[in-house]
Amino acid sequence: MIIHFHFHFKTTGVTRSVEGLLTPLNSMEETKVFGYGIKRNKISFFKLLKVIYSSPKTIIHTHRNNETLIALILRFLGGKFKLVSTRHAESTPSKLTLFLMSKTDQSISLSQNMSNNLPLETTIIGHGIDTNHFLYDQQKRSLKPRIISVVGRIRKAKGQLDVIDAIAPLLNKNPNWNLHFIGTVDDPAYVKEINTISLTQGVQDQIHFVSQTNEIQEHYKSSSAVVIASHTEGFSLVCLEAMFSGCITIATEQVGIHSEVITHGINGFLYPKGDTHTLRKLLKEVIEEPEKLKPELVRKTILEQWSVSSSAKKLFDVYNKVRAI
């Protein structure tokens, strides 16, 4: 049995990645979730104890420090299982994080950038997306007003302020275009900064804040472009989702997996993080030519290299290698 630990109430990229893996992994071996924040494939505490004390082939896969710590406590108390942990942050890990990772049977990182920041060996396995879930809809995308979306929690690290600074003068000259910020507001003061710029530029009626939604695919269908302005990312699931939905994707280079997925000018666009001048030039090109890239080519990149089925298969291979040790 494979058991993913998930102890987090808010829906995050980690949550969505674990949820996406459940179906393909479960087709290969019974896969459960222990904890809270995910409602599918649940396993009770008593069933968990029964499994880990009877089957040394059980895999426990953790994604956060608290989850790894609990797994190690269970192992200290005699639990028989193999422990795999995925690092989801690109930042330099704390001493505690490194200590916990060193106690697992296998550590996984999501990208080459992330692996480079770790002083221990990891296997690189990126997230994948459900290619049956995100679809391309040219007719819906062509409706007016045209939409450019920024998807992700609204906070400084996500770079929404860079986007409004870059696009406000363009929106002022293009009233048939709107900007949507889609995600949970983490920092109300940050939203005020964004609104101040939109008011100063006279484009407040073209700026819309949309709460986090489980129907994000509908927003991708309506968006001509998606901007990922993050200054730091553990992975960037939004990049894969937007591209497979056929959106022109503009993302910060050398952040998360952006530079691994996007070939500039071919299947998307890259720019240096914080460089609002370059971002404005790219947004101007999109507004002037919203069909600049071929959606079929953009989607093909994700279908061939970044599907959740491919990610699950790579993980399953790691589980079996760990079991053989």
Q: What is the pLDDT of residue 140?
A: 67
Q: What is the pLDDT of residues 203-258, one digit of tens each?
A: 999 999 999 887 888 999 999 999 999 999 888 999 999 999 999 999 999 999 99
| Class level of CATH domain 2-128+307-324 | alpha beta
Residue 215 is predicted with a pLDDT of 84
Q: Say if domain 138-305 classifies as CATH 3.40.50.2020.
A: no
Which pLDDT value is given to residue 297?
Answer: 87
For residue 298, CA distances in Å to 227, 302, 305 come to 15, 7, 12
pLDDT band at 139 (very low <50, low <70, confident <90, very high): low
Considering the chain, what is the average pLDDT of its residues? 93
pLDDT single digits (tens) 16-27: 889 999 999 999
Residue 12 is predicted with a pLDDT of 83
pLDDT in the model for residue 112: 85
CA 163 and chain centroid, separation? 19
Report, as an integer, the average pLDDT of 157-162.
Answer: 96
In the numeric block, the tokens 């690109």 are attached to 90
Decide if pLDDT at 10 tops 90. no
pLDDT score of 141 more than 80: no
CA 43 – CA 38 distance, rounded (Å): 11
Q: Which of 50-64, 102-116, 137-151 has the lowest mean pLDDT?
A: 137-151
- Residue 7: pLDDT band (50, 70, 90) is very high
Q: What pLDDT, on a 0 to 100 scale, did the predictor assign at position 11?
A: 82
**Which pTM was predicted?**
0.83
Looking at the chain, the domain(s) classified CATH 3.40.50.2000 span 2-128+307-324, 138-305
Strands (E), 37-122: 59-62, 82-87, 106-109
